[in-house]
Amino acid sequence: MAAKLTPPSEDYPRWYQEVIQRAELAENAPVRGSMIIKPYGYAIWEQMQSVLDGMFKDTGHVNAYFPVLIPESFLKKEAEHVEGFSPELAVVTHAGGKKLEEPYVVRPTSETIIWDTYRNWIQSYRDLPLLINQWANVMRWEMRPRLFLRTTEFLWQEGHTAHATKEESHEETLRMLEVYARFAEDYMAMPVIQGEKSEREKFAGAVKTYSIEAMMGDGKALQAGTSHDLGQNFAKAFDVKYQSAEGKEEYVWATSWGVSTRLVGALVMAHGDEQGLVLPPRLAPIQTVIVPIYRGEEQMATVLEACSKMEAELKAAGARTHLDDRDQFRPGYKFNEWELKGVPVRIEVGPRDLEKGEVVLAFRHNGEKKTLPLEAVAKEVMSVLDEAQKGLFEKALKLREERTHSVDSYDEFKERVNDGGFFLCHWDGTTETEEKIQQETKATIRNIPFDAPDEAGECMVTGKPSARRVIISKAY
């Protein structure tokens, strides 16, 4: 804890690793690519879960749980799906001391087992829509693991819905993308761009994939959530039909959508700085931390008493509060530690303050300090946290705007892409051009933003016509 963090400007990936380890979010597990999520990291995930779960319920969804093991043959029923996922499957071949008749796949995602089940659950249009979410772990054997961003096992939620019409399923796909965008912006304080994925980047088995894309502190993009319009692909593969009001037999229309523990990594990289983590108040497990300052036993007693009182008041006011009464560390040490852990507001309570009937509030997101009368703290804490939440979002938005560029020349693009940032460019819509860009620059088309204005132009690579700009960026 004594040494300083590697500055993000010097070595961003190293800074990221250090923040995660030293803020005690997670550590590497014995199995390559898997991680142990530590209590503080898990507490952040629990906050996320709790908010998202509420949003899913508010949009009419219910939770269920499907098994982690899926018969291998299920994966093979949807051609694109198996092709996309087979390289990264973990497969159970032995169990109970015997070789299995049919291997079981550890789920990389649950479409197959869920659609196999939905076949039995859906008979009539009256059974639709079926709106189910699942909180689960999944496993994808990644070659380049990175804590939170890409681990072999990760936690997520996956929504799987079934609808009577194409229009309804499309609406659902976009509704849930909007839910993710609201969550990212209003809770994570992380501005995102909603848009459609290119043909090449879409989910294996989907008709269309939509994503929210966020910019990280180094200017790279991170896909923070996806929502898929699955059309009738899975219904056909698993023979899921319903009888319409007119008595006709129809295949159902499907969606799936998910966000994962990757969002914890997104939080680190969206807001973190030289001091470490910066958590948005609405998701911070600890929103205010009280650090007592004293000399000698006598002062200690007085100060701690005032601190306990304040702790109770803050909790009553609705702020998640921690009193750091550890006697073995001095205040300076604690300041650094709580900054590293990203706590939004620190409250310093010392003899000098108590004499004046005040305390000092220090804000993590902008480093500012402010003095408040003792009795005002509990009254103002929630609005102070709100301000910090807004301030953090504004800061992230400003950073993104500064690092977003419209570029029309491929030469200019190639020159600037290594500096990071989002590039709004015209693209001819073909996979060939997309691949060429990736091969030559390692940047990818993040998505085709919904809110991009209609603007006729020419593809920066081929000069062919293009109707609007897409976001191109290097990505995690």
Whichever of 146 and 468 has its CB closer to RNA, that residue is 146
84 binds RNA (CB under 7 A): yes
31 binds RNA (CB under 7 A): yes
Contact 271, 48 (CB under 8 A): no
330 binds RNA (CB under 7 A): yes
Q: Which of residues 259-298 bind RNA (CB under 7 A)?
A: 275, 293-296
Task: Return the closest-CA partner of residue 320 out of 343, 303, 341.
Answer: 343
Q: Pick from 20, 279, 362, 471: which binds RNA (CB under 7 A)? A: 362
Which are the contacts of 415, defined by CB distance < 8 A and separation ≥ 6? none
Binding range to RNA, per CB under 7 A, among 28-36, 89-97, 112-120, 151-159: 28-36
User: Alpha-carbon distance 113 to 91, whole Å?
Assistant: 15
Binding range to RNA, per CB under 7 A, among 116-124, 277-285, 314-322, 335-343: 335-343
β-strand pairing of 62-63 with 130-139: parallel
Beta bridge pairs of residue 106: 69, 90
User: Alpha-carbon distance 59 to 63, whole Å?
Assistant: 12
352 binds RNA (CB under 7 A): yes
User: Alpha-carbon distance 157 to 135, whole Å?
Assistant: 4
Contact 113, 238 (CB under 8 A): no
Binding range to RNA, per CB under 7 A, among 81-89, 130-138, 151-159, 263-271: 81-89
User: DSSP labels for 149-197?
Assistant: TB-SEEEEEEEEEEESSHHHHHHHHHHHHHHHHHIIIIIS---EEEEEP
User: Alpha-carbon distance 411 to 468, whole Å?
Assistant: 20
245 binds RNA (CB under 7 A): no
Whichever of 358 and 387 has its CB closer to RNA, that residue is 358
**Interface mask (CB under 7 A) for RNA, residues 420-449, using x and -?**
------------------x-----x-----
Q: Pick from 103, 331, 429, 457: which binds RNA (CB under 7 A)? A: 331
Which residue carries 């550590």 as its tokens?
Answer: 27
- 441-465 as b/e: b if 16+ CB within 10 A: bebbbbbbbeebeeeebebbbbeee
Judged by CB under 7 A, how many residues of this single chain contact RNA? 48
300 binds RNA (CB under 7 A): yes
333 binds RNA (CB under 7 A): yes
Angle between helices 377-402 and 296-316 (to 10 degrees): 80
Task: Return the closest-CA partner of residue 372 out of 386, 359, 388.
Answer: 359
Minimum CB separation of residue 149 from RNA in Å reads 9
Angle between helices 377-402 and 262-271 (to 10 degrees): 90
Minimum CB separation of residue 50 from RNA in Å reads 26
Whichever of 129 and 420 has its CB closer to RNA, that residue is 420
60 binds RNA (CB under 7 A): no
Q: Pick from 340, 372, 425, 459: which binds RNA (CB under 7 A)? A: 340
Minimum CB separation of residue 84 from RNA in Å reads 5
User: Alpha-carbon distance 465 to 455, whole Å?
Assistant: 10
Binding range to RNA, per CB under 7 A, among 112-120, 161-169, 337-345, 413-421: 337-345
Minimum CB separation of residue 422 from RNA in Å reads 15
143 binds RNA (CB under 7 A): yes
Strands (E), 9-163: 26-28, 35-37, 62-63, 69-71, 90-95, 98-106, 130-139, 153-163
Whichever of 142 and 428 has its CB closer to RNA, that residue is 142
142 binds RNA (CB under 7 A): yes
Which are the contacts of 257, defined by CB distance < 8 A and separation ≥ 6? 158, 159, 173, 176, 177, 180, 225, 226, 227, 228
Whichever of 20 and 130 has its CB closer to RNA, that residue is 20
Enter the tokens of residue 86.
Answer: 């087979």
32 binds RNA (CB under 7 A): yes
357 binds RNA (CB under 7 A): no
Q: Which of residues 179-218 bind RNA (CB under 7 A)?
A: 201, 204
Whichever of 47 and 157 has its CB closer to RNA, that residue is 157
User: Alpha-carbon distance 196 to 360, whole Å?
Assistant: 47
Q: Pick from 72, 78, 196, 339: which binds RNA (CB under 7 A)? A: 339
Minimum CB separation of residue 458 from RNA in Å reads 26
Minimum CB separation of residue 344 from RNA in Å reads 13
360 binds RNA (CB under 7 A): yes
User: Alpha-carbon distance 238 to 266, whole Å?
Assistant: 35
Strands (E), 353-431: 358-363, 369-373, 404-406, 422-426
Q: Which residues contribute to the site for RNA (CB under 7 A)? A: 1-5, 31-33, 84, 87-88, 142-145, 201, 204, 223, 275, 293-296, 300, 327, 329-333, 335-337, 339-340, 348-354, 360, 362, 438, 444, 475-476
